[in-house]
Structure 1
């Protein structure tokens, strides 16, 4: 058979099977060849994990909670509104915001790969890219929510949105009770990354 060989020097045989280890091995190889700067890689990761997101998304949510006019504009044309705030760029070209209410709870998944609004939420978590999450969220969203510790009333519908290369979704979580009069900065601390994906709820103060 043409492919039935034992070439242990083939590049693929030198990479570990675990995805994280494969990434580390590739990074090490690229650094040794002088093709990437490890400091630059660390800076990019820090930017997306801590400065770009999910703080940007939390800012959008907190402002929507405090400003009805902003919220209306956000739900009507999120792409323009978040771009006006400076939250745009790669993986965030077209954003749609969906609002959680007493009647509907929204969840976001990308069934084909891992499309995700990077400018608003930063780097997607590992579980978001997993086959299990991508497959189960569409079939049994309540079971997936239960895995995240979220139990919703039976009367509340769960709606799943499938992100694509053309459209990325951000969930506007319900505002927690007892937060009236809180500043935008204080409200931001209650917004979690998972609540903006729909696999979690906003924190209570």
Structure 2
């Protein structure tokens, strides 16, 4: 069998430092530059400092916990899960989660036979309204966007330690400006009888993107694996 790593020219671990000029990652530099731009826009009347502060505060309240609430509810309520899979935005509205900025929210469910993983091949489209306003850096990287559509099983195993048996079908869901995706991960074994509140901490951001599984109750495993 040919080596997928050798065939793939875009490994996540590829060193591309020689391909472009050094990027200034000085936090103080970018902080000062951002402040100058903000001040200029305030002076031109586009917004006020108070409006900026309120928007920052609003964004800080939006975290992956919102998505985790949806998943935990779906795990304990089959009827809600059916509604969530049929119309993600309407189900969010039931739980007072504002998804007005998402045109269409498509929800997919991982099962013992099918595993979904989400990517945005064009840029970094991401369901910020339910997973937070700061996507992980790897999700935005060219390497992830190129590799996961070509060799999703390899990326999951090599980069995230998520081992999938060969008999599990892997489906790559491509986010767009029109459609965003949320993955319902497989409910961990050993959680029968757990209520919604107890299940929420087991749902991670990465499991709702599909690059990992939900946490197991005792957190004892050393790598993600479905047997």
Which of 17, 21, 36 pairs up with 2:23?
Answer: 17
Structure 1 19/137 Cα, relative in aligned 2: closer, same or farther at 3 Å?
A: farther
Distance (whole Å) between structure 2 residues aligned to residue 104 and residue 25 of structure 1: 47
For residues 173-194 of structure 1, give each alpha carbon's deviation from its aligned partner in whole angstroms, at most 9, with x where no partner exists.
0000000111111100000000
Distance (whole Å) between structure 1 residues aligned to residue 154 and residue 50 of structure 2: 40
Q: How many residues align?
A: 188
The answer as to whether partners of 1:79 and 1:95 remain within 8 angstroms in 2 is yes
In structure 1, stretches of 5+ residues that fail to align are 1-15
Task: Tell me how far 1:26 sits from its aligned partner.
Answer: 3.4
Structure 1 139/27 Cα, relative in aligned 2: closer, same or farther at 3 Å?
A: same
Distance (whole Å) between structure 1 residues aligned to residue 114 and residue 139 of structure 2: 21
Task: Tell me how far 1:126 sits from its aligned partner.
Answer: 1.4
Match of 1:78 in 2: 88
Match of 2:166 in 1: 154
Task: Tell me how far 1:88 sits from its aligned partner.
Answer: 2.7
Q: What SS does the aligned partner of 1:52 have?
A: coil
Distance (whole Å) between structure 2 residues aligned to residue 33 and residue 200 of structure 1: 43
Tell me the C-alpha RMSD between the 2 structures: 2.4
Match of 1:8 in 2: none
Instruction: Report the TM-score when normalising by structure 2.
Output: 0.74
Match of 2:35 in 1: 28
Match of 2:142 in 1: 131
Match of 2:115 in 1: 105
Instruction: Report the TM-score when normalising by structure 1.
Output: 0.82
Distance (whole Å) between structure 2 residues aligned to residue 181 and residue 125 of structure 1: 33
Structure 1 44/190 Cα, relative in aligned 2: closer, same or farther at 3 Å?
A: farther
The answer as to whether partners of 2:108 and 2:116 remain within 8 angstroms in 1 is yes
Distance (whole Å) between structure 1 residues aligned to residue 94 and residue 109 of structure 2: 20
Q: What SS does the aligned partner of 2:163 have?
A: coil
Q: What SS does the aligned partner of 2:162 have?
A: coil
Q: What SS does the aligned partner of 1:180 have?
A: coil
The 5 A counterparts of 1:31-70 are 31=38, 33=40, 35=42, 37=49, 40=52, 44-45=55-56, 47-49=58-60, 51-70=61-80
Distance (whole Å) between structure 1 residues aligned to residue 91 and residue 37 of structure 2: 39
Structure 1 106/46 Cα, relative in aligned 2: closer, same or farther at 3 Å?
A: farther
The answer as to whether partners of 1:48 and 1:118 remain within 8 angstroms in 2 is no
For residues 54-105 of structure 1, give each alpha carbon's deviation from its aligned partner in whole angstroms, at most 9, with x where no partner exists.
0110000000000011011111111211123222335423101000001110
